[in-house]
Structure 1
Amino acid sequence: MKSNYPEIQGGGSLILAWQVRNKKVLVVGGGEVAAGRIVNVLNADAKVTVVCPHSGLNDEVFFRVANKQVEHVDRKFQPSDLDGVDMVLTAVDDPEASSQIYKLCHEKRIPANIADVPPECDFYFGSVHRDGPLQIMVSTNGNGPKLANIVRRQIADTLPHNIGLAVQRVGMLRKKLRKVAPNIAEGPKRMQWMSKVCEQWTLDELCDMTEEDMEMLLEYYSPGLVPSFETVRLQEPDGAYDGPFLI
């Protein structure tokens, strides 16, 4: 039976923005793949421990260790390394050892990613474009990491150069709005009003929005209006609202 509902396409992954701030992440291995994993989790403000003999550290991982960006355990993996860990990433050239680590993680209910072994991954790393607070991930669900990288670059090339700054400014406005209208019941109205701002102001205007502009703009929240960027800039310093300025 046909419907207007989205068609289900099995075989995908649930792509989420996983908050790992201050979570304990264990990285087993110290080569090029491990270096990439370390960057990913450090960018997410995780607390990282690398287990790898010193001789196995490549230049980048050695740099992270030397600059105390990560903790380093100078030996091979031991089961006790999993104590108190929230996530495990393995990147070693030893399939048997990697599988054993995955089994231990499974027993302890610790999410793990075993590099280059999709069946033994609770989650995958996609190819990520980063511009300030904006992150865009492309995943092939383990089928073609290099192709994901190519697609990600093509997407990034089509984005406006100032999209990251626009997102940052919108985030600042959203935080201010929550202080103006903190009541939970205001949630739907807040979302609708923020949507209007994002739709009616251009990216350049969002980027140029100052804190003074934000304070002025927020005065139009109560009546549910969104004035033009020019209207906000033309208002007197006291910002008195004196009528609707719908776009």
Structure 2
Amino acid sequence: MKVYFLGTGTSQGIPVIGNKHPVCLSKNEKDKRLRSSVLIEWNHTKIAIDCGPDFRQQMLRIDNDRLDALLFTHEHADHTAGLDDIRPYCFMESKSMPIYAQKRVIESLKKRFDYIFETENRYPGAPSVTIHEVEASKDFYVEGNKITPINVHHGSLPILGYRMDAFAYLTDVKTLDEDTYDQLKNLDVLVINALRIQEHPTHNNLEEALIHIQKINPKKAYLTHIGFQMGFHEEVQKTLPENVFLAYDQLILDI
């Protein structure tokens, strides 16, 4: 399995438009973060988790010419606004893109991208999708690969993370139920969000992310969905436990 970090930033990305914070002015490429998303290459299948407003740019910069499925964690714009950019994949393969999400998220996408889901008088240039509704803890398969949706809480909003074999991707997490920790046992790699040092009402701060990591106890953990308030990449990394790493854009993991 290969995991490509397409973006590791929060909803505004880094640098934030017009922001003069030192991190936003950093010349270090590891301090420049597009909106959070990953591409997973697994048994010759390519699966993306989320497609935010930077999706086209992310696909171009890794020169990705195929996508077999798209999974959504939740409906917020920084995780869904790039849906129209699946068009080239639909056109190249002459088929609909399989998308996987909770029913609530599908309904939100239908409102935002009604022309994609239109069944009559479709605009000929619109991408087409095949809808798969998923529920937490109910396994599903993408081209024979088992995926487990994991229930997590983004503040009061129930959203999904995903486990694939010994890899799990959780973003926008604030709290986990006790039985969720059991679903995340025996991981080689955990990816989980850590927005900043300071408390936030709906996202992990760094301390909370480290507590989740300690309870889950993966071999390695990578932090994502990072805001500029976290600080400089190189400085923050020095403060982390030896098996915990700040992810950065275009990082590739072999698992």
| TM-score of the aligned structures, taking structure 1 as reference length | 0.29
| TM-score of the aligned structures, taking structure 2 as reference length | 0.28
Structure with greater helix percent: 1
Answer 1 or 2: higher relative contact order, Cα 8 Å, separation at least 6.
2
Structure with greater strand percent: 2
Flag the structure with larger Rg: 1
